Structure 1
Amino acid sequence: LQDIFNKKPFRPAWNYSHPTIANISFTLYAVLGVNEKTQILTTFLWLRLYWYHEFLQWDPAECGGIEKISLPVEDLWAPDIIVYEFIDEDKSQRTPYVYVNHTGRIRYDRMLRVVSSCNLGIFNFPFDVQNCSLTFGPYMHTVKDVRLGLALPIEQISENSKKYLETSGEWELVRIEGSADVLTFGIDEWDIVTFWWPDSVSFKERPILYVVNLLIPSAFLMVIDTMSFYLPPHSTDRASFKMTLLLGYTVFLLIMNDLLPSTTNGTPLIGIYFSVCLALMVISLLETVIITNILHHNSVQHSRTPGWVKKLVLKYIAKIICYRLPMAQPEPNCKMLFLFPNFLGKEQQKEPGLIKQQCSYTQDLLWISEDIRAIRSYLELHYREKEFEREWILIGSVLDSLLYRIYLLFISVYAIVISSLWCA
């Protein structure tokens, strides 16, 4: 064996015109990390490499029936198989030995921590499926020296990886597909085995973490904001409640910002979802401000509702949205008939004393009549203002109901669109 060890710098072939056959297979054991900002994928592989060493062949019958031995990997020639997407220092743990059988076939198993570049798509986060390529091939040896192929069928590689990756973190392996190809650069050609799109290593995140911590709380806050429309529109509690809810949603987004992926290539759909939800809450608050202004319009100006507004809102819009208008209240009858009896009868005029007493009574009745007329004027003005206020409140209620239905329609359409985009 020492003679063979001394020939380590040379490719183990009796005829150098014949290339060395090498085959690879791997098992994707874990996805260690995904950095969307730098577009880097870190995976952990169990790599298995086979090749033939034509100098290491023997007859087991002449060697005590020994068919397989282990030898130090540092003492034998090995093909320079690398991962072309590798962009970091190789910090993988080295395996010190290889197995060699009597036919000269060598099996080299090693653990490989691959830090590779990958075009990560985050638009459908957390329901996205990542398709990353892993290209295995020699660094220096061309097809004249080393021919590369698969040691196992692609289906077997995919099944083995799924079996070990199914309990590994938040990532779930979808499929592994690949093909053998020839890489041409100038006049040289290299044999490579590539796992890429459409032949790719596809994996996706298990979204339950983000659904529970992000989507469901956001949906609950939107439901609460929608139900807040059932608060009395003429009460200031609705505006205060909506402002508190908007503040709480903003704090929620600040806390959950670290869970969202960030990249300069685009914005994930979940970020758009949160932004639109925040915009809807702002629109809901603006709607409350507008309705509050309409409802309190009469408290400042005490003006009559314009006829065209009253006709448009109470006649057409109320009918379109099926709003049931309250029964019209009868106007109070403040008209009073003041009758002054003729205290001075013919018989009574004959008595001067009685006549003085009746004049005193008449003067008192005139004063009372003036007071009653003032009360009547005040009551008429009060009832007129109340009628104006009732009309403005009724118009505000109809418009509030209309905007609430539009808000519900927009939220329903938005929920359908966002769900279809995530499920596509």
Structure 2
Amino acid sequence: MAVQIITLAYFLFLSFTTTLAGNGNEETYNLVEKLKSNFNRFAPPHDLINKSVKLYIELFKVLDIDEKQGLINLKMILIVSYGSNSSVWDPEDHGGIEVITIPEHIFWSPPLILRDAIDKTYESFTDQMVMHDGRIFSRMSFLTAKLACNIDATKFPFDTQTCPITLYPPGGYENVFSADFAFPNLELAFYEKNEQWELLTPVTTYNETILHTGQQYQESLISIIFLQIL
């Protein structure tokens, strides 16, 4: 079963407008208990589809670029999803329920490291979402991150800067799952232009295999390129 991420707008629509079908709370409770019996929330599901976690990032705004300190401050949204056959159900067997929203941390949430983060703040929604086809949206967070960026201002004010956003599984998870971007280009539907810097588009995503201490692991990278316009 192919695991596909849904668009941010559709995700928000589902999150805030979905009414669970069925016979009230008892149907939902029974379904959640059934699904929980198949999972350990502290570990990936044994049937994690393609051993892959899907990442969806929407860039909202470049809050600040500090050329002297070599820092960039970004506001974005991060959605993390994965698929498991253990979380598939037939809506006809459960009162017509197709989607459930549950409190966070009921199901496993993949750990991810944000490289070069000097400071970061997650403003998480309080629910996870599970679709009847086996997709689990384990995290949806607004993320404000201050990242180290190798800024070269020698050609000011006509300089172009490239600042990477790098996400990857922590040690011990390298062979358990890979973190893969859902789309080849970064979503910018809600991006607010910066008065000092122009974002050069499209912003592409890609994966890079790194050799570290004799073992290979994958990093998921976004290179954000800016042109100073003042």
Instruction: Give the TM-score normalised by structure 2.
Output: 0.75
Question: How much does 1:19 deviate?
Answer: 6.1
3-state SS of paired residue (1:164):
coil
SS of the residue aligned with 1:61?
helix
| Higher normalized helix content (fraction of residues) | 1
Contact 2:88 2:134 in 1 (8 A): yes
Q: Distance in 2 between matches of 1:204 and 1:165?
A: 16
Q: Does 1:112 align with 2:143?
A: yes
Q: Residue 23 of structure 1 contacts residue 49 of structure 1 at CA under 8 Å; is this kept in 2?
A: yes
User: Does 1:194 pair with 2:221?
Assistant: yes
Task: For 2:42, give the aligned amino acid.
Answer: P
CA distance in 2, matches of 1:133, 1:206: 20
Q: 1:143: Cα distance to partner? A: 3.9
Conserved 8 A contact 1:20-1:52: no
Spell out the pairing of 1:281-292 with structure 2 (5 A cutoff): none
- How far residue 180 of structure 1 moved from its aligned partner, in angstroms, is 1.2
163-172 vs 143-152, which moves further: 163-172
Match of 2:69 in 1: 38
Instruction: Please list the CA deviations of residues 245-266 of structure 1 after superposition, one character each: whole Å capped at 9, or x if unmatched.
Output: xxxxxxxxxxxxxxxxxxxxxx
Structure 2 CA distance for aligned equivalents of residues 105 and 149 of structure 1: 15
- 1:182 paired residue among 187, 205, 209: 209
RMSD in angstroms over aligned alpha carbons? 2.3
- Confirm or deny: 8 A CA contact 2:61 2:192 kept in the other structure: no
Query: SS state of the match for residue 92, structure 1?
Result: strand
Matching of residue 67 in structure 1 with residue 98 in structure 2: yes
Which residue number in structure 2 is paired with residue 11 of structure 1? 44
SS in 1 for 2:227: strand
How far 1:2 moved relative to its partner? 4.2
Change (3 A) 1:153 1:86: same
Q: Which amino acid aligns with 1:135?
A: T
The answer to whether the 8 Å contact 1:31/1:169 transfers is no
Matched to 1:173, the amino acid is L
Alignment of 1:5-404 (within 5 A): 7-14=40-47, 20-88=51-119, 90-107=120-137, 108-154=139-185, 157=186, 160-161=187-188, 163-175=189-201, 176-195=203-222, 200-207=223-230
Q: Which runs of 5+ in 1 are unaligned?
A: 208-424
Query: More relative contact order in 1 or in 2 (CA 8 Å, sep 6+)?
Result: 2
Structure with max Cα Rg: 1
1:22 Cα offset (Å): 0.7
Measured against aligned partners, the alpha-carbon deviations of 1:105-154 in whole angstroms (never above 9, x if no partner) come to 11232111111110012122222221111111111343421022221122
Separation (CA, whole Å) in 2 of partners of 1:140 and 1:2: 31
C-alpha deviation, 1:168, in angstroms: 4.2
Amino acid at match of 1:82: I
Q: Which residue of 1 aligns with 2:11?
A: none
Query: What letter matches 1:191 in structure 2?
Result: Q
Gaps of 5+ in 2: 1-31
- For 1:184, the aligned partner's letter is L
Q: Is the 8 A contact 2:124 2:140 kept in 1?
A: no
Q: CA deviation at 1:14?
A: 4.2
Q: Distance in 2 between matches of 1:164 and 1:35?
A: 23
